[in-house]
């Protein structure tokens, strides 16, 4: 039976013996208390999640795929995907590098990326769902209004809500330089969207209430 062995020793070697990241963290006030033991413990648990929870779902993902109900237009992911997402939320994995102001753990983004390297290696199909949420979180955290942050960031941080990816358009595929969709500011502070999108990654599922 195939197994997934997370490359923990490789990550530890690069971080602690080559880059010596904890020395760099010490000069950054918000990361000054992060030590090698903390990083290693988080990634060891993350490796277990990847190998024990998401990796086995490659079977149902390959054999079943997503199911579309043509009457309700609802999409159901393969068997086990929803349950795995519930464990992901319960474990606080969505919050790793998120701002503590919105319920995040405040760990360095490096730790988050190491975790997601393991997740994508173990099961890229499943990881697309929560992985896209962090992009939405980062965009809102950097550019959102205070009102938007108050509404969306706590729920994205907790994993109660997920994000999607709306890039591809019928006329340009993955050539993002040719995107034509526009967002026009309106007098009431909203935006009028004009355009057409296809292939919405994580655009329909039953794992969270906002999708």
Check residue 79 and report its DSSP letter: T
Domain count, the chain: 1
Band (156; pLDDT cuts 50, 70, 90): very high
Establish if 178 belongs to a structural domain.
no
Establish if 3 belongs to a structural domain.
no
Establish if 192 belongs to a structural domain.
no
Residues 48-80: pLDDT tens digits? 999 999 999 999 999 999 999 999 999 999 999
Domain range for 54 is 8-165
Supply the pLDDT for residue 33.
93
Task: Tell me the angle at which helices 146-158 and 124-143 cross, rounded to the nearest 10 degrees.
Answer: 160
Supply the pLDDT for residue 8.
98
Q: How many CA atoms lie within 13 A of 52 on its CB side?
A: 8
- CATH at residue 123: 1.10.540.10
Distance CA 126, CA 86 (A): 13
């Amino acid at each position: 039976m195939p197994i997934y062995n997370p490359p923990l020793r490789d990550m530890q070697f690069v971080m602690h013996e080559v880059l010596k990241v904890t020395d760099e963290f010490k000069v950054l006030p918000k990361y000054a208390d992060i030590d090698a033991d903390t990083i290693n413990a988080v990634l060891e648990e993350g490796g277990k999640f990847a190998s024990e929870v998401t990796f086995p779902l490659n079977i149902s993902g390959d054999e079943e795929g997503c199911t579309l109900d043509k009457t309700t237009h609802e999409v159901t992911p393969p068997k086990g995907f929803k349950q795995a997402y519930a464990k992901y939320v319960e474990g606080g994995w969505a919050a790793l590098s998120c701002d503590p102001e919105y319920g995040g753990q405040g760990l360095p983004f490096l730790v988050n990326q190491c975790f997601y390297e393991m997740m994508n290696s173990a099961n890229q199909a499943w990881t697309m769902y929560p992985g896209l949420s962090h992009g939405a979180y980062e965009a809102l955290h950097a550019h959102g209004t205070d009102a938007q942050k108050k509404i969306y960031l706590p729920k994205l941080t907790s994993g109660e809500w997920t994000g999607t990816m709306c890039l591809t358009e019928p006329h340009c595929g993955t050539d993002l330089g040719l995107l034509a969709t526009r967002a026009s500011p309106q007098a009431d502070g909203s935006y009028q969207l004009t355009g057409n999108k296809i292939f919405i990654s994580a655009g329909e599922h039953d794992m969270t209430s906002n999708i």
